[in-house]
Structure 1
Amino acid sequence: MTQSTKRVFGSCCGKSRQFYFQNDMKTAKTAMSTLRITPNQCIALMEALQQQSDIFQKTGGVHNAALATPDHIFLQRSDIGRHNALDKLYGHALIQQQSLTNRVLIFSGRISSEILLKAAKMRISILLSKSAPTTLAIELARDLNMTTIGFIREKSFNVYSHPERMIK
């Protein structure tokens, strides 16, 4: 058995020397979902994420992560750390044995390669963020068949990968 020497470098939270061997991506799941979403749903879900976070409303100092259908949020978590907010969300879903197939992940923070890989392990096919993805996250999203939409603000956003899940 030979190990691939292709490396994927990521920079996150000061770990700029962290890398993954291509074989490490085997734990990530290629998105197979046929879930689709409209532009209005993307904007409405981001607005709902911000409105549902009382801590964010009071402080502006936390990250939020939520699981949703294209029409509504059913689980939301906040934390000062963006990774922690996502981990809390995923942990709760695992404990409750909730299926995450055909779910949308809504996120307030930057989409790093590490965040994207966590979403892939959750079997997420559509990832929405108020912030931007890194170049590496976009490349991974393309490889893992994930739709990544960022800079969702007011009436605009950018689709970075797999736009075929957008209903026009």
Structure 2
Amino acid sequence: MSGKGTKKKGTKKAPPSRTRFDELRDQKIQRDLGSASSTMVVLSGQLSNPPRPLLRMLRGEGAQVTTHPKQTGSVPQRQRQVHLPAQHQRDLIERYKAGATQRELAGHYGVHRTTVSKILQRHGVESQRGLHPDLIDEAVRRYNEGQSLATVGRALGADPGTVRARLLERGVAMRDTHGRQT
């Protein structure tokens, strides 16, 4: 029954002997902590190279170590709930139908964009999906004049992908990045 991996019952592996490095490290820690320290703690693992504020605190230099704000135990601030009165909702709908974007309305009324969207859905208002129908003709004109999708989108306040989708719906032939018809 002899061979590799066999171990006699009752024998324990001897702890690794301390190296000269271990002794020098312990001496440095003791010297850094000063003689006022009665207990020596050897840091290893994640704290074998501790941050400077921790070292200053251990040396007693009066450094303050703060915890992360989320770890302070404070109660997170609740989101402010905004309810728009019926009159404001009617005004919001009229402004949207007149061409204002959901983002503009959200900023004006101090609510989130999804709140504006839900108000519009609740009142049966059809979404304008990024480019107002009145602006599609303008987008077609600009694109046919040679402007890029990005330039048209910036000018009309819409994403270039949205501009492309609306132009394709109108049957406009797309150009490649070098201006050639595809």
Whether the TM-score (by the shorter chain) exceeds 0.5 is no
Q: Which has the higher contact order (CA 8 A, sep 6+)?
A: 1
Higher strand share: 1
Whose Rg is larger?
A: 2
Give TM class, smaller chain.
under 0.3
